[in-house]
Structures are given as C-alpha cells and as structure tokens.
Chains A and B, each alone.
Chain A
Amino acid sequence: MAKKYTMIVNLARCIGCQACTVACKFQNNVPEGQFRTKTPANGLKGTYPNVSVFFIKEACQMCQNAPCVSVCPTNASHYNEDGVVLVDVDKCVGCMYCLTACPYDARFINKETGAADKCTFCYELKVSKGEKPACVSTCVGSALMFGDLNDPLSQVSQFLAKHKGEVRKPEFGTHPRVQYIYEGVVR
C-alpha cells in the first residue's frame, strides 16, 4: 500500500542548532553555498524584557498539489508512488520555472548538476531503506518526526492525533505534507 510520508516540525522543541542543516548537506552532498534546508530564527518578538522567539525549519513542504510539478515542462518534477515530490535530474533542463512557482523558496539550481534540487525526504538514500531522513535522525531538540500517516500506529499518526498540525501558506492550496506544531510558541 502506498505510503503517506509526513514530516512533523514541533516548533516548541526546535533550538535552531542546525544539526539538520549540516546533516542534509552531507547526506545529499549539496554544493557549497546551497541548502535543501535551513532553520533560522523566525524573528525576535516583543520588547525587552518580554521577548520570545522560535526557529522554523525551512525546506520543501512536499505539496500534494504542487505548483512546481504542474508547471514543469518536462515532467522532471513529479510525485513518486508514495506522494513524495521528486526531481528527475535526467529530464530536468534547468528552466527554473519550478523555482518561480514554489511559494516556499524550497528549490534551487544545483551548481554541479545544473538541475533543480530540493529536499527529497531523503527518499532514495534513507526512507526507501526503512531509515529516517538524515535531518530527522540527527535532530538535537527532538523537534522532528517522520513517518507514514497511513499507518495509524506510526509516531506521526499518534502525535497528530493529540496535537494540532498546521501547514504553511495554506492560502495557496498546495496541501503540504510537512506539518508544523505551534503549541507552546508565541507567533
């Protein structure tokens, strides 16, 4: 049965340590100066001494109605059998149409391949082998969870049963598979 892979980012737990950022670079040997993911501060809010801040992991949101896929002239951008959005480097001509279409700035043209690149949920190298994505398994704050929503016993299903997951920029109707938990953070 097809999987419904989902990543959960529990913002209250994220400490902005960037272990995910670096793990991703090596797992997917992303060229110097380019990133599939980053976890910057969302900007300090409030005035001294009543301030708050949280860090937010940015990467491909794995839209199920993905603008990057619909605009791709060569079908290089596609959904795989488990609903993961991937780029077929072979078909990609590097036209950057998908870059302009992605509302989450998740994509870039890989310096070395010249093709569009982005988070793949580590599908090829990890997930398809039954392992967790590199960023998830190295998450120092235990802020990241990954699993199959079609499996009611998976950590993600269990967690989302108890906590409210939200997607970024819902107004675009992209239906992301990456969900953010805002409980315990000041927006």
Chain B
Amino acid sequence: MDVIWGVSQNEVAWGQLIAIYLFLAGIAGGAFLTASVTDIFSKKQYPKVIRSGAYIALVSILVGLGLLVLDLGRPLSFWKLLFNVNMGSVMSIGVFIVSGFTGLSFVYAYLVWSAAAAQNQIQVTSANTEVAATSVGQGIQAFRKPVAALGVLFSIATATYTGFLLSDVTTNNFWNTGFLGMEAIPFLPILFLVSATSTGLAATLIGAFRGGDLSTYKKIDMVLIIVEIVLISILYLSVKPIFFSGSMAALFWLGVVSVGLIVPLLLSLYGIAKHKNVILPVCGMVVIGGLSLRYFIVYTGQLFR
C-alpha cells in the first residue's frame, strides 16, 4: 500500500518471546512459592513437591531470562540494565527483583538437591563416613528455611512485577485497566499473581504427581481456578468488548477460558466426586491456560489501541 493513501496498522513491539517470558516467570514464581511454603510448613510430608518446585523454578526462570535477552534489540548489552537504573521504571526495578529471585532459586535448588543427595548417600555409604556426610549437609541446610522464607517474598514479587510491567504502561488502556475501576489498584498484577501461583503449583504437581496424597494441593488449585474465573469475569466486564472480539478472541475463549479454567474446574470436581486421579490432565490444562493468558494480554493490549 502506498504511503499517501494507504492505511498503517498497529505493529506489535512485544511479541511471543515476551509472552513466554512472562509465562515462565509466573511459573517460576508459583513453583518457588509452592516449594518454599511447603518447606516452611510441612517439609517432611512432601519432599517430592519441594524438589519439583525448586527445580522447575530455577529452570523456568533461566529459560525465561534467556528469551528476554534474545528479544532485546541489542542482546549483548543486556548488562547495561544493571548499571543504568531508573527507579521510575518497573522494568528497571524488575531487573533487580528477578536477579534476586534467580540467585535465590539457585541457592534453594542447590540446598534441596544436596539434601536429597545426602539422603541417598546415607543409604549407600558405609557407617564410618556417615557422620561426616550428614554434618556437612546439615551445615548448609541450616540456611534452607531462611532462604525459603526470603523465596516466598521474591516469588510473589516476581509474579506481581510481570503484571506491573504491563499495567504501568499508562497509555495502554487495556494493560492499564484498574481493579474494579479503581485507578490506584492496577488489575494485571493481581491477575498475574493468581495465575502464576496456580500455573506454578500445577507445574509443580505435574513434576511430583507420584508424590503420594496431594489432595490439599488439588483443593488449593481449585480455589485458585475459581478466583481466576472471578477475576477474568471482572476484567471482561471492566474493559471494551473489542478486546474479546478481535483477532485474539479465539485464543481467549478457547485457550484462556475453556482449556485454562472451565474444563479443569469441572474435571477436578469430577475427580473429587469419583475419587479418580485427574491431576495430570487438570494441571496440564491449567498450564496451557496460563500460557494462553499471557499471549492474549500481551497481544491484545498492543493490537487494539
């Protein structure tokens, strides 16, 4: 089309790499949260859950960061983000939150891993070396609770920041939507926190699905799904319908709503009723729903301005 009479359409600055990053950061946050909370309250009961959560957190945040850097116009200068700080910029703040989070998940994953390793050793090694091995283990294991506690904070921070990153774009009337019309309280951070927790939890459960009785987790997950349904309904009511009818509509109704929320909810209700283990399909769908949600929010916000 020619420059004089042609019509120019909105281009998308942030594409799928960013969508996937936001998703993975969410998973990481949710998984770390699941693991650390479990660790703090009932460490003995769910070792598998803790391990799954800790590892998933580390892997997803590393992959996520990788994608983020790849998406930069100048990937090799990413380090400049650490030396030029703008406290007014959510991204700048985010850089430090995520760095902290990544550091913690490293340490935490290591602690969890070394503990497990120690466990194995106890079984294999001969009596005389036992003492040494465990004592070393115990030495660092002392840090585990504080790290977990700190992790709780950073997990929540990471999950919420992904929401603030978008909601802080005041010129984007979709991302910038206020909670129940309240300008002061942006909507996305809340939505992303819930979604992150539920997807992170779901992912963790997939990793630990032979981890014995997980019924408490299933219940928590169901609650989260219901909360998310409520939030999505609020969003639906508080912004222009165009956002849900445009080219992104299919993704929203199929991916986010059906696969991500309704079906898993019904399925888990059915599971509880019939005492069937539906954890894999349910969690799988929740995760897919979470990914769809990020795609939907990222693209819709930029396409329909």
Within the complex, are A and B direct neighbours (CB within 8 Å)? yes
**Chain A residues with a Cβ under 8 A of chain B:** 16, 18, 21, 38-41, 43, 55, 67, 70-76, 91-97, 99-103, 105, 109-110, 113-116, 172, 174
Q: List 15 interface pairs A-B (beta carbons < 8 Å), by A numbering.
A: A38-B8, A39-B3, A40-B5, A40-B6, A43-B7, A71-B90, A73-B81, A73-B89, A74-B92, A93-B72, A93-B73, A94-B77, A96-B71, A110-B73, A115-B74
The list of the 6 closest CB pairs from A to B, nearest first, reads A94-B73, A99-B13, A114-B73, A73-B92, A74-B84, A73-B91
Which positions 75-94 of chain B face chain A at CB distance < 8 Å? 77-78, 80-81, 84-86, 88-92, 94
| With known contacts A100-B14, A115-B73, A172-B171, A75–B84 Cβ distance under 8 A | yes
The reply on B169 being an interface residue by CB < 8 A is yes
Other-chain residue from B14, B84, B95, B302 in contact with A91 (beta carbon distance below 8 A): B84
**Chain B residues with a Cβ under 8 A of chain A:** 3-8, 10-11, 13-14, 71-74, 77-78, 80-81, 84-86, 88-92, 94-95, 168-172, 301-302, 305
Residues of A within 8 A of B3 (CB): 18, 21, 38-40
B86 touches A95 (CB 8 A): no
Bound CA–CA A70/B170 (angstroms):
10
Residues of A within 8 A of B88 (CB): 70
Bound CA–CA A101/B176 (angstroms):
11
Q: Which residue of B lies closest to A100 (CB)?
A: B13
A71 touches B89 (CB 8 A): yes
Chain B binding surface, main DSSP class: loop
B171 touches A103 (CB 8 A): yes
Bound CA–CA A66/B41 (angstroms):
47
B14 touches A96 (CB 8 A): yes
Residues of B within 8 A of A93 (CB): 72-74, 77-78, 80-81
B168 touches A71 (CB 8 A): yes
A97 touches B89 (CB 8 A): yes
Measured CB to CB, the closest approach of chain B to A38, in angstroms, equals 6
A94 touches B72 (CB 8 A): yes
B11 touches A105 (CB 8 A): yes
Other-chain residue from A16, A38, A109, A172 in contact with B73 (beta carbon distance below 8 A): A109
Q: Which residue of B lies closest to A38 (CB)?
A: B3
Other-chain residue from B77, B85, B169 in contact with A101 (beta carbon distance below 8 A): B169
Residues of B within 8 A of A43 (CB): 7
Q: Which residue of B lies closest to A74 (CB)?
A: B84
B84 touches A100 (CB 8 A): no
B86 touches A174 (CB 8 A): no
A95 touches B172 (CB 8 A): no
Measured CB to CB, the closest approach of chain B to A103, in angstroms, equals 4
Residues of A within 8 A of B77 (CB): 92-94
Other-chain residue from B11, B71, B92, B171 in contact with A174 (beta carbon distance below 8 A): B171
Bound CA–CA A40/B1 (angstroms):
11
Bound CA–CA A109/B74 (angstroms):
10
A73 touches B86 (CB 8 A): yes
B86 touches A72 (CB 8 A): yes
